[in-house]
Chain A
Amino acid sequence: MGTSFKRPALTALAATLGLFGALLSSGAHAEGKISIAQQFGIGYLILDVVQQQKLIEKHGKEQGLDIKVDWNSISGATAMNEALLAGALDVVSAGVPPMLTIWDRTKGKQNVKAIASLGSMPNYLLSNKPDVKTIKDFTDKDRIAVPAAGVGFQSRTLQIETAKLFGNDNYKKFDNISVSLPHPDATSALIAGGSEISAHFSSPPFQYQELENPNVHKVLSSYDVLGGQATFNVLYTTQKFHDENPKTYKAFYDALAEAEKIIKADKNAAAKTYIEVEKSKLPLPLVEKIVNDPEIDFTVVPQRTFIYAEKLHEIGVLKNKADSWKDFFFEEAHGGAGS
């Protein structure tokens, strides 16, 4: 009770301004907190190992820092990008092309760059139509199922291959017959047959499930498009987080490197970890077979990511030209023999 209640308008104004100030001001972020988002799938095995064995906390303690890790699951690269831009998450993970998109759009501003790779994995374009042997055999009646039509890893890989075969101007040729469907739905549609979905640009572990079916055959592998083993998913963050939290960042990077060593030391144990952490219903023998597949390399060193940057700039998807893969990776990752 005092003068404030005699001037309700002034009090309301002060409260509103205070609220706006609180909302607009960026929260002060002390070192020792990191929020990470991952998607589902065998491609995130490194993160599953990090989570289960609490490697970030361990490496944080080595630097004398008590790190609190917040794990989230988000579906889709677009949602990841938006959460990162809005400041809701510190580190997000998605395919190489979405990371390049956000790098391109934030260059000179938030400067989003990649932290490390999450492993190299092939993505197969599968079809249940026997007369489709190469992508030239696709007609207007076919439908290719991808998780994010036009913008995701699989669509961009297909666009690069289309540009190679039909010219840079026609890179969007198969976007017209691409349909957005999550991997599980596309897998069942392709195996069951009878729907318009006649092809699915799949990822591990779904492609291995589909290939067990006699009707499904492989049309294209992402490794063929890129000329060899290529990184599938990457982790990325803003420059602000990287610069303001050097110790947390280093602890995180070291945790990833250690997880890579753990997986390579005992792949079958890693397969068990995957099933435990992601509560997967896949049978253990299948997961072990995938983890032991020689085409798959769980490494934090990026492989052939520059080809994406180069080709996507050529077809006009990226406005900025990268001179090397080091342009879109933070310095800690520059040590390995990346590409």
Chain B
Amino acid sequence: MLAKASHLTLQWWMTLRLRQQAGSHRGSALTQRDNTMSLSPPIREEYEVELAPFTQEDLARETPLLQRIWQQSWVRKTVILIALALIWEIAARIQGNDLLLPSFIDTAKAFIDGIVTGELLAKVWISLTVLVKGYLIGIVLAFGMTTLAVSTQLGRDLLGTLTSMLNPLPAIALLPLSLLWFGLGENSLIFVLVHSVLWALALNTYAGFLGVSETQRMAGRNYGLKGIRFVWYILIPAALPSILAGLKIGWAFAWRTLIAAELVFGASSGKGGLGWYIFQNRNELYTDKVFAGLAAVIIIGLMVENLLFSNVERLTVKRWGMQR
């Protein structure tokens, strides 16, 4: 009884104060602060809100089949390729001179013919074996040079100077020189390939090594890693995105250089690769076979990119979260 009376008194007192306050609002703002400090906020009744019944049938909706097919990236890329093939076919028919521009169908026939007779595949194999040899030697040399650059001062200066001098030099310009030094055999091709791979890869690898975070380096030093082991266990995995970019660039340079060198170089020791196939068919005015050879170059480039490099990326840098 007493509690209720005091509660009511308190409420009357608060209402009185509020009215007073409302009146004094027209006064200065500075006085407001002392007034609110002693009041508690207005209390309202609890209430429950009635929810409307849930009537939506499915949270997941089936998109139409066509849209689902279009979402596949390979479908869109194939459509682009088909559109390009159609434009090519129409342009060739308008031109009407199949020695200058063979149609897509003629090229496809020459390509399939080359595969069936095994001629194109044999030439591709010869080109690829030379390429792989040059590429691997280039990779080994690039890593050797970069390791030296990372560990010693002279190595760093050597790498910087050599790369800036020799990177802009096109490998084809070195071909006559390498023919003089290494003769007409495979070795001159490998020399030119190594040159085209080495500088781009060394540059990318070195930039990658420089970008490795201090934390990771200190962790490596913590384990007592030094020299080659430091490079192998810490630097290379940490710099892998840059290294992979360097490998892709090096591969593209090497492939281009090899085809161009074979065009210039002619048959070496009786066997020629894909570039020689293109060159000879151009000489014999089989332009559809020339285009088939070019198509083979493009297809191999696509295959290496999509089968080799993207899988390496998927298994390493993408899995480790280093690259999106």
The reply to whether B283 and A179 form a contact with Cβ atoms under 8 Å apart is no
**Contact between B285 and A150, CB atoms less than 8 A apart:** no
Q: Is the CB of A85 within 8 A of B100?
A: yes
Q: How many residues of A contact B (CB 8 A)?
A: 26
Which B residues lie within 8 Å of A262 (CB)? Answer: none
Residue of B whose beta carbon sits closest to that of A102: B285
Query: B280 near A150 (CB under 8 angstroms)?
Result: yes
Residue interface mask A233-250, B partner, CB < 8 A = 1: 000000000000000000
Tell me, in angstroms, the Cα distance from A81 to B284 when the chains sit together: 10
In the complex, which residues 260-288 of chain B have their Cβ closer than 8 Å to any Cβ of chain A? 266-267, 270-271, 280, 282-286
Interfacial chain B residues near A109, Cβ < 8 Å: 97-99
Residues of A within 8 A of B184 (CB): 143, 179, 196
- Interchain CB contact under 8 A, A148 and B283: yes
In the bound complex, CA of A24 to CA of B261 (Å): 33
- The answer on a CB contact under 8 Å between A176 and B283 is no
Q: Is the CB of B285 within 8 A of A81?
A: yes
Interface size on B, residues (CB 8 A): 16
CA of A78 to CA of B290 in the docked complex: distance in angstroms? 14
Residue of B nearest to A106 (CB): B99
Task: Say if the beta carbon of B170 comes within 8 Å of chain A.
Answer: no
B99 in contact with A151 (CB, 8 Å) = no
Tally inter-chain residue pairs, CB-CB below 8 A: 47
Flag whether B183 is at the interface (Cβ < 8 A): yes
Instruction: Tell me if A220 counts as interface (CB < 8 A to partner B).
Output: no
Give the residue of A86, A102, A149 whose beta carbon is less than 8 angstroms from that of B266. A149
**Are the C-beta atoms of B285 and A105 separated by less than 8 Å?**
yes
Q: B267 to chain A: which residues have CB within 8 Å? A: 149-150, 175-176, 178-179
The residue among A102, A150, A178, A196 with the most chain B CB atoms within 10 A of its own CB is A150
Least Cβ distance of B181 to chain A in Å? 12
Q: B236-273 CB contact bits vs A (8 Å, 1 = yes)?
A: 00000000000000000000000000000011001100
B138-174 vs A: 1/0 string, CB under 8 Å? 0000000000000000000000000000000000000
Task: Give chain B's interface residues, CB within 8 Å of chain A.
Answer: 97-100, 183-184, 266-267, 270-271, 280, 282-286
In the complex, 25 of the A-B residue pairs with CB atoms within 8 angstroms, ordered by the A residue number, are: A78-B282, A78-B283, A81-B285, A85-B99, A85-B100, A101-B284, A101-B285, A105-B99, A105-B285, A105-B286, A109-B98, A110-B97, A140-B270, A143-B184, A148-B283, A149-B267, A151-B280, A151-B283, A151-B284, A176-B270, A176-B271, A177-B270, A179-B184, A179-B266, A179-B267
Other A-B pairs beyond A150-B267, A176-B271, 19, CB < 8 Å? A78-B283, A81-B285, A101-B285, A105-B99, A109-B98, A143-B184, A149-B266, A149-B267, A150-B283, A150-B284, A151-B280, A151-B283, A175-B270, A176-B270, A179-B184, A179-B266, A195-B183, A196-B183, A317-B284
